[in-house]
């Protein structure tokens, strides 16, 4: 079978799922030679089996809003692959959540978790709820209804969710409380928990910190560092916050943040405790518009625009899938951008990725560069399992070591003959090999 025929079969089986096909194609194109030249993988049909989720559940979420009206949303959990550990991956509340989005995220998560070096399979879940403007009471009732169904599919050795877009510590708390009541047990069934009831230090910052640690490794291969670099960041949530904090700490100047309304250009830098605290406050209030940042800190706001038009040495897309297209990539390249590290999942379109690779810009995919979040979730699981808690320094040191490890795996599997490090290829091959071998070891089941 040729790669083309293989992809045609996958497309036919998953109609109307463009994001899922995009993610699968991005992986298949880079691992095909590795796959097809391994008789054991082919005999076990591991690639097709890896693409097919082991289980998908979809369910109704009825709930009562503050006006007393009964609402209904749709919830999902995609349990993609459990070859190397229990299903693991976040829960997203976003109006555009559908099966295509969650299947792409669960597929990517499987390879990401494999790269993390920790024993975690891949999954993702969510609901088509728009959390913007919802009261705390509404979010609690909604989350309780969501968990009333989901809990039976979870367990510390079965499936361990966490947060994602629209779900942070508060919603994780509501999920945990509901699970604890229904299961009548206090276990580490979800990560991103509060620090007083089983959470890990550094988990809130971990995705953004990890992205910057990874970026630091990329820069090292070019003989440079973050010191004095201009950084363009998109998004206005947990990942952007962690990335802005760590990039600042390591000597870079973060000049942009963005929301669905546009972007802000802060030439003095997103670099004060007041600005970081404001980001946390907005995230906790589920407010992702940045125009008010511009007013509060007296900086320009560009309505309806994306930050990729500014001059920056480094781009950290930290918002949402497909937020940086081929034209954005061309603008960044023209302006001298040398490194792109994806804090979000699949933020660069295939055209953007190809443009960066052609221009020899070092581009790291989310499955490598944002792996710090789920890795620290894995560290939270380890602490829960052993009933202990590690210091901030211990967790941060482990996170740094993991990010360095992943970077090394990308270098090993992705370095081209001219020395260019193709992180897309490197991360896909490294992530795939581990899962594929585990699947072969465990038989056709």
By annotation, the residues acting in catalysis are 124
Number of H helices, E strands in the chain: 17, 12
CA atoms of 200 and 191, how far apart (whole Å)? 8
Q: Where are the alpha helices (DSSP H) in 151-202?
A: 169-183
Site size toward ligand 2IT (CB under 6 A) is 12
CB contact at 8 A, 241 and 208:
yes
Residues sharing a CB contact under 8 Å with residue 264, sequence separation 6 or more, in sequence order: 256, 257, 258, 290, 291, 293, 294, 297, 299, 300, 301, 302
* 258 contact choice in ligand NDP, ligand 2IT, none (CB below 5 to 8 Å, kind-dependent): ligand NDP
Question: Within positions 187 to 216, which residues make up the interface with ligand 2IT, using CB under 6 A?
Answer: 191
Angle CA 260–263–267, to nearest 5: 160
Query: Biggest alpha carbon distance in the chain?
Result: 64
The total of other beta-carbon atoms located within 10 Å of residue 326's CB is: 16
Residue 159 near ligand 2IT by CB under 6 A: no
Of 30-38, 70-78, 162-170, 348-356, the window that binds ligand NDP (rule: CB under 6 A) is 162-170
Residue 232 near ligand NDP by CB under 6 A: no
Residues sharing a CB contact under 8 Å with residue 72, sequence separation 6 or more, in sequence order: 60, 61, 62, 63
Q: Which of 233, 299, 374, 429 binds ligand 2IT (CB under 6 A)?
A: 374
CA atoms of 345 and 167, how far apart (whole Å)? 15
**Which burial class, exposed, middle or buried, applies to 73 when counting CB atoms under 10 A from its CB (0-12, 13-18, 19+)?**
buried
Residue 165 near ligand NDP by CB under 6 A: yes
CA atoms of 173 and 191, how far apart (whole Å)? 10
Residue 360: CB minimum distance to ligand NDP, A = 26
* 88 contact choice in ligand 2IT, ligand NDP, none (CB below 5 to 8 Å, kind-dependent): ligand 2IT
Q: Which is nearer to ligand 2IT, 328 or 342 (CB)?
A: 342
Instruction: Return the closest-CA partner of residue 353 out of 333, 373, 372.
Output: 333
Q: Which is nearer to ligand NDP, 44 or 234 (CB)?
A: 234
Q: Which of 73, 248, 345, 427 binds ligand NDP (CB under 6 A)?
A: 345
As a 3-state breakdown, the chain gives helix, strand, coil percent values, each rounded to 5, of 50, 15, 35
Residue 130: CB minimum distance to ligand NDP, A = 7
Q: Which is nearer to ligand 2IT, 88 or 413 (CB)?
A: 88
Q: Which of 81, 116, 145, 345 binds ligand 2IT (CB under 6 A)?
A: 345
Question: Within positions 35 to 74, which residues make up the interface with ligand NDP, using CB under 6 A?
Answer: none
Question: Distances from the Cα of 179 to the Cαs of 25, 56, 149, 397, in angstroms?
Answer: 36, 20, 10, 31
Residue 365 near ligand 2IT by CB under 6 A: no
Q: Which of 323, 328, 380, 396 binds ligand NDP (CB under 6 A)?
A: 323
Residue 273: CB minimum distance to ligand 2IT, A = 26
* 94 contact choice in ligand NDP, ligand 2IT, none (CB below 5 to 8 Å, kind-dependent): ligand NDP
Q: Which is nearer to ligand NDP, 319 or 429 (CB)?
A: 319
Question: Within positions 85 to 144, which residues make up the interface with ligand NDP, using CB under 6 A?
Answer: 94
CB contact at 8 A, 206 and 242:
yes
Specify the residue for token string 């599997």: 413
Residue 435 near ligand 2IT by CB under 6 A: no
Identify the sign of the CA torsion 182, 124, 204, 400. Answer: positive
Residue 246 near ligand NDP by CB under 6 A: no
Of 84-92, 259-267, 299-307, 434-442, the window that binds ligand 2IT (rule: CB under 6 A) is 84-92
Residue 349 near ligand 2IT by CB under 6 A: no
Residue 164 near ligand 2IT by CB under 6 A: yes
Residue 90 near ligand 2IT by CB under 6 A: yes
* 125 contact choice in ligand NDP, ligand 2IT, none (CB below 5 to 8 Å, kind-dependent): none
* 191 contact choice in ligand NDP, ligand 2IT, none (CB below 5 to 8 Å, kind-dependent): ligand 2IT
> Rg (Cα) of the chain, in Å, rounded?
21
Q: Which of 121, 123, 125, 343 binds ligand NDP (CB under 6 A)?
A: 343
CA atoms of 388 and 393, how far apart (whole Å)? 15
How would you label 268-284 residue by residue, b for 16+ Cβ within 10 Å and e otherwise? ebbbeeebbebbeebbe
Task: List residues near ligand NDP by CB under 6 A.
Answer: 94, 163-165, 207, 234-240, 258-260, 283, 288, 306, 318-320, 323, 343-345, 370, 373
Task: List residues near ligand 2IT by CB under 6 A.
Answer: 88-90, 109, 112, 162, 164, 191, 345, 373-374, 377
């Amino acid at each position: 079978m040729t790669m083309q025929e293989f992809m045609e079969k996958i497309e036919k089986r998953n109609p109307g799922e463009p994001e899922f096909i995009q993610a699968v194609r991005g992986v298949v194109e880079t691992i095909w030679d590795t796959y097809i030249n391994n008789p054991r993988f082919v005999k076990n049909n591991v690639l097709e089996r890896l693409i097919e989720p082991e289980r998908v559940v979809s369910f109704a979420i009825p709930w009562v809003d503050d006006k007393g009206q009964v609402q209904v949303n749709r919830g999902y959990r995609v349990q993609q692959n459990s070859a190397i550990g229990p299903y693991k991956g976040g829960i997203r509340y976003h109006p555009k959540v559908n099966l295509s989005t969650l299947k792409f995220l669960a597929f990517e998560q499987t390879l990401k978790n494999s790269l993390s070096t920790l024993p975690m399979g891949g999954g993702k879940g969510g609901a088509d709820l728009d959390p913007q403007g919802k009261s705390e009471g509404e979010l609690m009732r909604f989350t309780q209804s969501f968990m009333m169904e989901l809990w039976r599919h979870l367990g510390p050795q079965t499936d361990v969710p966490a947060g994602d877009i629209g779900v942070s510590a508060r919603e994780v708390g509501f999920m945990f409380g509901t699970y604890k009541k229904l299961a009548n047990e206090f276990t580490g069934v979800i990560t991103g928990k509060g620090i007083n009831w089983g959470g890990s230090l550094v988990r809130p910052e971990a995705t953004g910190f990890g992205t910057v640690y990874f970026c630091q490794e990329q820069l090292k291969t070019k003989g440079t560092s973050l010191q004095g670099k201009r950084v363009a960041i998109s998004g206005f949530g947990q990942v952007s916050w962690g990335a802005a904090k760590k990039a600042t700490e390591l000597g870079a100047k973060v000049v942009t943040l963005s929301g669905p309304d546009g972007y802000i250009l802060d030439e003095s830098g997103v670099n004060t405790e007041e600005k970081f605290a404001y980001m946390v406050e907005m995230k906790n209030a589920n407010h992702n518009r940045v125009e008010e940042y511009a007013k509060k800190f007296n900086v320009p706001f560009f309505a309806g625009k994306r930050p990729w038009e500014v001059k920056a040495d480094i781009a950290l897309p930290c918002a949402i899938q497909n937020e940086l297209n081929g034209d954005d990539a061309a603008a960044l390249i023209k302006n001298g951008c040398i490194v792109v590290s994806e804090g979000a999942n699949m933020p660069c379109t295939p055209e953007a990725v190809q443009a960066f690779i052609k221009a020899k810009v070092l581009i790291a995919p989310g499955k490598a560069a944002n792996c710090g979040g789920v890795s620290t979730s894995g560290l939270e699981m380890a602490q829960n399992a052993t009933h202990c808690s590690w210091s901030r320094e211990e967790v941060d040191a482990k996170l740094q070591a993991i990010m360095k490890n992943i970077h090394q795996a990308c270098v090993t599997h992705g370095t081209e003959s001219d020395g260019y490090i193709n992180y897309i290829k490197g991360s896909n091959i490294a992530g795939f090999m581990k899962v594929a071998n585990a699947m072969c070891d465990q038989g056709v089941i």
